[in-house]
Amino acid sequence: MKTIPENLSRRLLFILHRGLTEARNLALAQGNEQIADLADALEILPRYVQGCNEEDVELIRFVLKTYQDKYPGSNYDYLAYFEKYDPPQRY
């Protein structure tokens, strides 16, 4: 069982920031289906900014991994920013 990542709220907010950036770029390239899938993946995150339990963390991991598995090779590695990398101080 994995533990709840440190700085959970900062990680989630950074993932939302990156997701909005990707959505804008996809809109410019007319990636409509991918934008909808991205919105589906990110829409659950705001409720967890204030905190969550280990079951919620597993749901977040599942949703981010599902999106990334459907669109491999993207520069937007949401799962890595959730699990491994600290978000930048400013973004």
Asked whether residue 50 is assigned to any structural domain, the reply reads yes
Domain total for the chain? 1
Measured between alpha carbons, how far is 35 from 19 in angstroms, rounded to an integer? Answer: 9
Asked whether residue 1 is assigned to any structural domain, the reply reads no
Residue 4: which pLDDT band, with cuts at 50, 70 and 90? confident
17-45 per-position pLDDT tens digit: 999 999 999 999 998 999 999 999 999 99
Q: Is the pLDDT of residue 1 over 70?
A: no
Identify the H or E element spanning 25: helix 8-28
pTM for the model: 0.83
Q: Is the pLDDT of residue 2 over 90?
A: no
Asked whether residue 47 is assigned to any structural domain, the reply reads yes
70-84 per-position pLDDT tens digit: 999 888 999 999 999
Asked whether residue 3 is assigned to any structural domain, the reply reads no
For residue 18, the enclosing domain spans: 8-83
